[in-house]
Structure 1
């Protein structure tokens, strides 16, 4: 029995979920899954072909690797089995229909609870009656804590947070504060043994849960800790104050999964499964097409379906070109950037490791999504040129982007001088365009509280409007743009607000 919070973790991040779900659909949808070893092995092979699972010897030849990945999809409420037949939940269907990933998986992560159909299958102790991710957010809102480390989640929260009562909550807060003052001496000598746990296992669970919560874009990560960025605090307060009702745990696992797996666009699952059409070869081909497309679109911002995209997907999936084109156009009439944006957000917190990739991805987004002529200059390593230069012939201006892969960026004196004197005053040294400068902007994982003052100092020194925007808010701007396109004049106004751009500045 697991006497602590537990999540399965064949993958510690949620980014590959679409490809894995599409591979699962290709091999299991409409079939029996439980004790069907052939399907388990087939799914494992599909995962290896997508690259989401390493190719290796299947020593037991039983498809155990496939079962572990399927369990993760099941734990997130994306599928269920009824009458020996696999069906997708509404959340699973939403992902396969190309709906925006973050809202779907954010809802599933936040509603994840013990007990559940999944927790019963892996024997999580019955003392846990809690929604762990809501509980973590509540702790992070607490002025006494503000951040949690991986070790605090592992050794204290995952073991002691067993329900959502005020008594339990305050005991956990007190224990964390004690640990910050006195370290491990607060634990009894047989503390881990008593809970049938090892520190390594608990740290793995904590890391995975931090990754899942990070995917919701409600927290930031920094040096092994998580916290709530200032611009997300109101949203998190509203979420915690309006938690949905606890899902009653039924004996029938399919009933639980259907309640848990309701997507953000439905109130409940009212589908009549008896009317579900049997899985045909075309359905299998469709899932192969979508699997290949999920993989492609996570690495490329697909603004629209064109011949290049169709040819690539045909080569990967081995499906008929006409059918491939019709599936992609029907499923993604407005293209698909959700998977790419999720990958893009990750880059903003990688520090120097992925700095050039972050710059290149920013260049692609401003060119492919916003329609600028975008030039990546950052790879030259020169301190006299910014990361990205934008040109708008439509409105007759050029603009400057400086990417900062930090969770809390602050404009230092050196960076201030570089922006004002090298990038803005000296733009003719790296740009042949003669348009005036419309704006400058910083894109970062997050900013320090006094960023507005720092931006204003640069505006006053240069006489040019500027701003800063978090990656999360840039993603919201892109998603809003996909529904109701912004003109370059409107973008110039938003990026020239002379302060940090907030969510309230974005929606039309």
Structure 2
């Protein structure tokens, strides 16, 4: 019997979900329809393949039993991406299959995160107490929509790691506890740890307290992991150690919370539960007859390896189409027949799979200076590959006279400049105002040889301060050029819309010339 865990718990071999598509594709290539349970050779092979793909750090194994591989497999299982049948064979759920097939992983995993529940087949196997009957991430979103949890006038409702770890993770058993949780959180903000029970450690942590210098560390780490999972859904943003829902996401969150979502029954029945929980956004029921699929051929194994290699590449760079260079690279990486590689990619991913990259791109927008250059280069690639500009990355040259990105449109005869800001609430300070007006706009000819007129400037950021519209208008008025700001979440929505209907450069010029922050209502192609 697993040891009792008297608080919300999520497994976290990695604290963020970005690598799930890659880990899952490797897992599928290694284990699909093999007997996973009890096969240490298979567990070790999975661990070795993760290390080879640089998805897991290479280190000395403590027991040579494949425990590292089992930990990553448990991560996938906890999210409803696969199940094992009564004899231990592995099958992907519809959600898992959708990710391997190149469907947008954020769309798939958003559903899995929001439908994550206690109890589940996984939570029972690791001993999470049965007193919890709740969908924890939906509960957190509900709290984040409650104005009573604002930290001050003009600030959105927010939650901190200590609040979630010490109060919500330990005390919220079901939706019936909602009002009590609001009261407990407000009390904690006033009293701090004095608001906790005198028997807190005995009641909730028992013998699990490891570091007496910071006895709450485990709960804080769980809260941080849950913040990371919610951040992956692109429904929340973070400001330091607090999470909140950006204004442009509140309507969507409200629709999510207004849609009833009931607990999946029979968590003791692994296959039944996982197939119900592991639905993708495009199915209401899993009706597959997996018994009739037959044995796995060597060709099918090669196809899984090809898919795994593709997903690993697509997670690091935007892939909007299948090219001969990509086919050649995957044929080299996998050793598979080139014709099979081309057929597999053209059949499974005819339009590429840009969604896998967008999850990583979203995260870059909140990393500050740590990932600034990566954010700029990624935006350059997207402007080139998705919106078909002649896009040049100029940033980090050491010169303050050049913006991050220069765009050229031969279709419409204009050029434009993009400046990336990897912050959750970017504000145009006096120095940044002067740099845009006097350096980027005023000295265009020092970094561009194009004779086309400058049509617009735009900021792409994780989020903006409330004063952004006023600040943009000041730059427009002084610089004499149209401009705008767009959050990374709205920019990603534009990218998704472009997959259905391409934007013309004339339409893009109109959108980026609004002289204010661009909203979801502005971005129809």
> TM-score higher than 0.5 here?
yes
- Measured in 2, the distance between the counterparts of 1:61 and 1:220 equals 40
Partner of residue 170, structure 1:
179
1:485 to 502, 510, 518: 502
Partner of residue 132, structure 1:
136
Partner of residue 44, structure 1:
47
Q: Matches of residues 341-352 of structure 1 in structure 2 within 5 Å?
A: 341-352=358-369
Using the TM superposition, name which of 291-300 and 88-97 deviates more.
291-300
Using the TM superposition, name which of 491-500 and 134-143 deviates more.
491-500
Given the alignment of the two structures, is residue 89 of structure 1 paired with residue 93 of structure 2, yes or no?
yes
2:108 to 104, 109, 121: 104
- Measured in 2, the distance between the counterparts of 1:120 and 1:41 equals 25
Normalising to structure 2: TM-score of the pair? Answer: 0.94
Shift of 1:250: 4.3
- Measured in 1, the distance between the counterparts of 2:115 and 2:454 equals 46
Using the TM superposition, name which of 238-247 and 113-122 deviates more.
238-247
Given the alignment of the two structures, is residue 328 of structure 1 paired with residue 345 of structure 2, yes or no?
yes
Q: Is the 8 A contact 1:25 1:284 kept in 2?
A: no
What whole-Å deviation, never above 9, does each CA across 1:250-275 have from its counterpart, x for those lacking one? Answer: 43211111111110111111112222
- Measured in 2, the distance between the counterparts of 1:449 and 1:90 equals 41
Secondary structure of the structure 1 residue equivalent to 2:285: coil
Q: Is the 8 A contact 1:95 1:104 kept in 2?
A: yes
Shift of 1:277: 3.2
Given the alignment of the two structures, is residue 226 of structure 1 paired with residue 230 of structure 2, yes or no?
no
Secondary structure of the structure 2 residue equivalent to 1:106: helix
Residue segments in structure 2 that go unaligned for 5+ positions in a row: 150-156, 210-215
What whole-Å deviation, never above 9, does each CA across 1:264-323 have from its counterpart, x for those lacking one? Answer: 111111112222232111121111111111111122111211121112112222211111
Residue segments in structure 1 that go unaligned for 5+ positions in a row: none
Shift of 1:226: 0.7
- Measured in 2, the distance between the counterparts of 1:295 and 1:354 equals 20
Using the TM superposition, name which of 67-76 and 418-427 deviates more.
418-427
What whole-Å deviation, never above 9, does each CA across 1:210-254 have from its counterpart, x for those lacking one? Answer: 110000000001111111111111111111121422212343211
Q: Matches of residues 144-163 of structure 1 in structure 2 within 5 Å?
A: 144-145=148-149, 146-163=157-174
Shift of 1:112: 0.2
1:374 to 391, 396, 401: 391
Normalising to structure 1: TM-score of the pair? Answer: 0.97
Secondary structure of the structure 1 residue equivalent to 2:458: strand
RMSD: 1.4
Secondary structure of the structure 2 residue equivalent to 1:54: coil
Given the alignment of the two structures, is residue 468 of structure 1 paired with residue 485 of structure 2, yes or no?
yes
- Measured in 1, the distance between the counterparts of 2:479 and 2:448 equals 18
- Measured in 1, the distance between the counterparts of 2:347 and 2:72 equals 28
Q: Is the 8 A contact 2:119 2:267 kept in 1?
A: no
Using the TM superposition, name which of 428-437 and 271-280 deviates more.
271-280
Q: 1:250 to 1:354 in 2, by over 3 A?
A: closer
Number of residue equivalences: 506
- Measured in 2, the distance between the counterparts of 1:507 and 1:253 equals 43
Using the TM superposition, name which of 232-241 and 4-13 deviates more.
232-241
Given the alignment of the two structures, is residue 179 of structure 1 paired with residue 188 of structure 2, yes or no?
yes
What whole-Å deviation, never above 9, does each CA across 1:318-350 have from its counterpart, x for those lacking one? Answer: 211111111111111111211221111111111
Secondary structure of the structure 2 residue equivalent to 1:473: helix
- Measured in 2, the distance between the counterparts of 1:322 and 1:221 equals 46
What whole-Å deviation, never above 9, does each CA across 1:401-446 have from its counterpart, x for those lacking one? Answer: 0111100111122222221222123212221111111111100001
Secondary structure of the structure 2 residue equivalent to 1:105: helix
